[in-house]
Chain A
Amino acid sequence: MIRSEILRDIAPILRDHLVICNIGLPSQELHMIDDQPSNFYMLGTMGLASSIGLGLALAQPKKVISIDGDGSVLTNLGTLPTIANNVADNFILLIIDNGSYGSTGDQPTYAGKKTRLEAVAAACGCEAVVTCKAEETGTALKAALASGKMTVIVAKCDSGNIKVPVITKDPVTIRDRFMAEVAR
């Protein structure tokens, strides 16, 4: 199971929540599968999906799901201690871990080698860390939403991409309609 199949699987769950989606193919795939005004697509700035999601969760009460990748979390590894030490129980960090930099041609990440992000998250002080297989992602996500506890989910999946169009929406439009959803 590859990332786009996970996204297709969990799209009905995501639809009801604020979603910060990682740069590159993850955003393009989610945009193609189920575009929603409650999705904030990152068009640049690799690594900051978790930081934007945490800031959003700390600023308002609605549930926030950041969809991140293993490569992006490795880019901004300092995010995990910040998340652990600033608990927002309305925040879920979903790391789709395919062990590779998917958007750039599936080069392996260190998470695809010896590094285990779930162990890093736990060592940083994150209290609820769940590791699951790709096909269990929806179940894990529903459980995390029901728990009312800040949760880091590491969903292990295969490396691989589908053909998707780029997002041509204006960033200010994405941001404006997203903020209207936040305020709704």
Chain B
Amino acid sequence: MSISRKIVDDLVANDVSFVTTVPCKQLAGVIEEVENRPGMFHIPANKEDEGMGLCAGAFMGGKRPCIIMQNTAIGVTINTLATLIQFYRLPLPMLISFRGELREPVACQVEMAVHTKALLAQMHIPTYHFHKHADADELDAILKYTFMCSKPVAILTDASFWGGYGDQ
């Protein structure tokens, strides 16, 4: 089974049915799987804070949400995480491609990578880092944890997890 399908299977198994995404080459397979999965509503967002607003509304409407984005989005969404998701105590799994890690070809990506875990730690956001495919075995438990504690939770997935950057 592809890793993208396994990830979406875990989302479905945890009743996640509203997924907002901002595109990412590494997460393209997951996004395609979300788009094609029956019973899952996929709504692309123009910016990640907008996506978090959509997720907040969907949760209050009775749907379990998830946001799929790049780690650069942490820089975009600090205020939304603090004043909406955390202040109103809303659960939000964040499946994040961790650009700027080992095998990264674009130097600028490293500039946000070095801040990513520090910012998440400063925000007291539980953070998990998938480096090998076997790490994704914990996704089911991470999703259950997220909805149990009603917090934003970060799942960082690096280039090694996705098998590098191809011929980039």
Q: In the bound complex, do residue A78 and residue B54 qualify as a contact, i.e. CB atoms below 8 Å apart? A: no
A interface residue count range (under 10 / 10 to 19 / 20 to 34 / 35 or more): 20 to 34
Q: In the bound complex, do residue B79 and residue A55 qualify as a contact, i.e. CB atoms below 8 Å apart? A: no
* A79 interface residue (CB < 8 Å to B): yes
Find chain B residues with CB under 8 A from A40 CB: 60
Question: How close is B31's CB to chain A, nearest CB, in angstroms?
Answer: 16
Given A82-B45, A82-B50, do A175 and B61 touch, yes or no (CB 8 Å)? no
Find chain B residues with CB under 8 A from A6 CB: none
B interface residue count range (under 10 / 10 to 19 / 20 to 34 / 35 or more): 20 to 34
The majority secondary structure among interface residues of chain A is: helix
- Residues of B participating in the A interface, judged by any CB pair closer than 8 Å: 18, 41, 43-47, 49-63, 65, 79-80, 82-84, 87-90
Give the number of A-B contacts (CB < 8 Å).
116
Which residue of chain B is the closest to A42 with respect to CB atoms?
B84
Given A44-B79, A55-B18, A182-B62, do A78 and B46 touch, yes or no (CB 8 Å)? yes
Question: How close is B39's CB to chain A, nearest CB, in angstroms?
Answer: 13
A179 to B82, CA, bound (A): 20
For the complex of A and B, 7 pairs with smallest distance between CB atoms? A55-B57, A59-B61, A51-B53, A44-B83, A78-B46, A48-B53, A56-B57
Q: In the bound complex, do residue A48 and residue B80 qualify as a contact, i.e. CB atoms below 8 Å apart? A: yes
Question: How close is B125's CB to chain A, nearest CB, in angstroms?
Answer: 16
Q: In the bound complex, do residue A171 and residue B57 qualify as a contact, i.e. CB atoms below 8 Å apart? A: no
Pick the contact of B41: A58, A172, A179 (CB < 8 A). A58
Q: In the bound complex, do residue B18 and residue A76 qualify as a contact, i.e. CB atoms below 8 Å apart? A: no
